[in-house]
Amino acid sequence: MAGTSPDKSGHDDMGSFDVARFVKRSHTPRMSLAPFSTPPASTEPPTFREARDLLLELHDDYHGARAAFVWPRPERFNWALEWFDAELAAGEHGGRTALKVIGERVETRTFAELAHESSRLANGLRALGAKRGDRLLMMLGVVPELWATMLAAMKLGLVLIPAMPTLGQADIADRLERGQAKYLVAHGADAEKFARLAEGVERVAVGAAPPGWRSYDALLGGELFHPDGPTKADDPMLLYFTSGTTARAKLVVHTHASYPIGHLSTMYGLGLKPGDAHLNISSPGWAKHAWSSVFAPWNAGATVIALATRFEPRAALDALVEHQVTTFCAPPTVWRMLIQHDLRQWKVALREVNAAGEPVNPEIIEQVRRAWGLPLRDSYGQTETTMMIGNSPGQRIVPGSMGRPLPGYRVALIDADGLESDSGEIALPLRPRSVGLMSGYQNERGELIAIEGEYYRTGDVASRDADGYITFIGRADDVFKSSDYRLSPFELESVLIEHAAIAEAAVVPAPDPVRYTIAKGYVALAQGHAPDRATAAAIFKHMRARLSAYKLVRRIEFFELPKTISGKIRRVELRQREAKLAQQGERAEAEFRIEDFPEG
């Protein structure tokens, strides 16, 4: 795979492998995980610990961190063994809380306990025949066993396929087949979902084990884990099925370097520090869960806080207070739900609040600032990358901007002519290659398709101002023309949700015989507002006061927004609906048009 040096020794030449030999010079267990006061000078490439400590030392010095940070590029690296076990779980730090799962009861695990449980699970899986390179499908909810399974898979060198427990049989079958899974760890209560699907797959049940399944608890083996050899940094570690909005999910391949080391940028962007209590709202099975509920907080030595019950805004706000959460990250969909409540009623201990997953609208940022006095900091990344653009602590916030490229990333904007510009498709140059970028996509035959050309292109369009701040415009296929003007759905949606009646909005092009297309807003109303003519009139009046004439959203429809399983709005369905209505010459029943409400 591209981007790392090959390991010429191979895995089978290390019959008496000693993991301590491969713990880098800065990985001696210490009493404290606070950063070095001064990063050690060295002409050698930095170790993981050195790179991490430098970012912590420069946590609020964006320009200093950008100038000084260099990606670690080890030939061999196993984060679970060399960082989690050797550093986080060692000595006095091992007794600190690594994980707190909040459900009907609160379950905690220390770093040492998770290291111990994951080693025992790795030994149990090895006894079943699991070996380096085998694929393991993990379909677990928010339970401590999820984190232990991830660590165990890393220790063994398995390729982990995370999946949400809410998946249906078709999606499960797809992951088993295209993921080529040999092992499965899931809730015993979900066994029926795998009926006739997991033939030949070794099945492990968390909770009561149905017939044909092995018990997770009974599988836990010996106390000490001895790896069968070194782990190449460019060995595959994670296989993600992206949520997708149009066709079958793509299969994203990440390595033992690209996510564990790559998420140093995410740690920096989120503003995480040793000892933090970090709550992330994200479903297991999606990349953002690994971002912000595994690698970024544990790179910092923070405690991961996780909500095990169905999301409810007031309960989440209560948890922020009760568990003294210091850093909080949630998608804009969650923030839109939270600001429906008077946030000032919750006396939080927060130092940092973040949004990720979709662009966050300026109105949300302002409401959070007024309530808690904190800047809600937006950021940008993909399943294929770690956090690459962000408003890290210490930076001036530009409303509507995702921030600037984070340490370790050079971000280019590619125009229609394929040239770097101040407006265009967000792309990452491949020479040199950022460590946090995936190794490639897996094809239908299970082969890695490496990224070719000079850039990895994200499919997202943005602009950059004179100070380097990058503002999201939309997906390359979402931006549309109306009367020869290019319109950004995100910009128009941001104006729409400023109105108190609107909880969420999605703007798509609607075919128009005069303007080619016009902007139509699909609107989900906030509680207490009626989907009637008076509400529509108020929304049109609001837009006329804030938008130039050529940008006006000329139609609105009160509508339940279709979403992907990960919570992103499926604008493709809305575009298809508009095309069908236009083809049939019909007007949607709940649609209001701006010409129905003349000014004056």
Question: pLDDT (tens digit, 9 = 90+) per residue, 383-397?
Answer: 999 999 999 999 999
Domain with CATH 3.30.300.30 in the chain: 478-596
Domain with CATH 3.40.50.12780 in the chain: 91-464
Give the pLDDT mean for 257-278: 98
Name the CATH superfamily, with its identifier, for domain 91-464.
Answer: ANL, N-terminal domain (3.40.50.12780)
Share of the chain above pLDDT 70, in %: 91
How high does pLDDT run on average in the chain? 89
Question: Which residues partner with 428 through β-bridges?
Answer: 456
Residue 490: partners with Cβ closer than 8 Å, 6 or more residues away: 359, 472, 473, 474
Six-digit token string for 442: 């897996």
Query: What confidence score (pLDDT) does residue 566 get?
Result: 67
- Number of CB atoms found within 10 A of residue 500's CB: 12
Distance CA 241, CA 292 (A): 18
Q: What is the pLDDT of residues 497-526, one digit of tens each?
A: 999 999 999 999 999 877 778 999 999 999
Is 478-596 assigned to CATH 3.30.300.30? yes
- Residue of 62, 45, 37, 46 lying closest to 268 (CA atoms): 62
Query: What confidence score (pLDDT) does residue 32 get?
Result: 57
14 falls in which pLDDT band (50, 70, 90)?
A: very low
Question: Which residues partner with 414 through β-bridges?
Answer: 420, 425
414 falls in which pLDDT band (50, 70, 90)?
A: very high
User: pTM of the predicted model, to two decimals?
Assistant: 0.81
- Residue of 136, 119, 154 lying closest to 226 (CA atoms): 119
Least confident of 222-231, 262-271, 478-487: 478-487
Distance CA 378, CA 380 (A): 7
Q: What is the pLDDT of residues 120-174, one digit of tens each?
A: 999 999 999 999 999 999 999 999 999 999 999 999 999 999 998 888 888 899 9
Query: What confidence score (pLDDT) does residue 35 get?
Result: 55
Phi first, then psi: give them for residue 36, nearest 5 degrees.
Answer: -55, 145
Share of the chain above pLDDT 90, in %: 73
Distance CA 402, CA 461 (A): 12
pLDDT value at 600 more than 80: no
Least confident of 11-20, 143-152, 470-479: 11-20
Distance CA 188, CA 355 (A): 34
- Residue of 509, 425, 516 lying closest to 464 (CA atoms): 425
Asked whether 151 and 116 are in contact (CB, 8 A), the reply is no
Query: What confidence score (pLDDT) does residue 331 get?
Result: 87
